[in-house]
Structure 1
Amino acid sequence: MMTQLFWNSFLIAGPIVIATLVVGLLISVFQVVTQLQEMSLSYVPKLAVAVIVTVALAPWMLARLTGFAASLFRSIPNLG
């Protein structure tokens, strides 16, 4: 069950983490090239991308999480 829990958490959080990582890397490269060291330039786009990815993938994430929870409830009688 723990393996499934970790796998599902990685699958659900993975797209958000990867998208913000890519955007952060692109912004860092832009900051190095332009020598513009503004903190909000780094923070705001990553936050916006995280929100966009979450909204876009929310139905899939919710279905994945609901399926995992249902499988946990179905396995309760077999635990004892």
Structure 2
Amino acid sequence: MGGRWLTQTFVIHLAREALLLTLSLAGPVMATALLIGLVISVLQATTQIQDQMLNMAPKIVGVFIVLLVLGAWMLNIAINFTNNIFAQIPNIVR
């Protein structure tokens, strides 16, 4: 059924790598949205302006800028991970 590489340790390692990849790709975007949201919330609390669009528009712009700046790096990381998975398929199938 499975090859000699398909062990519990291999599956756990693969799941761990996938979770770390997800965190490293989503981390900068989520941190940017969190930081911008925190700054806007403090400004809204001090000025008592409670407009929802004031909260969302800067987050969208910030996330877009982060994706523009880090998009190529994120794509390269995802491609390398996928290539490694595909390269291991012959070892798994054996």
Q: Same-fold call, TM > 0.5?
A: yes
Structure 1 residue runs of 4 or more that deviate by more than 3 Å after TM superposition: none
Q: Which blocks of at least 5 consecutive residues in structure 2 are unaligned?
A: 1-13
Q: Which blocks of at least 5 consecutive residues in structure 1 are unaligned?
A: none
Percent of aligned pairs sharing the same letter: 34
- Alignment pair present for 1:39 and 2:52: yes
1:8-62 residue CA offsets vs partner (Å, 9 max, x unmatched): 0110010000001000000000000000000000000001100000011011000
Q: Note the 1:54-65 alignment, pairs <5 A.
A: 54-65=67-78
Supply the distance in 1 between the matched residues of 2:88 and 2:30 (Cα, whole angstroms).
30
Equivalent residue, structure 2, for 1:68: 81
With CA pairs under 8 Å and 6+ residues apart, which has the higher RCO, 1 or 2?
2
Instruction: Count residues with an aligned counterpart.
Output: 80
Q: If each structure's helix is expressed as a fraction of its own residues, which one has the higher value?
A: 1
CA RMSD of aligned residues (A): 0.6
Q: Which has the larger radius of gyration?
A: 2
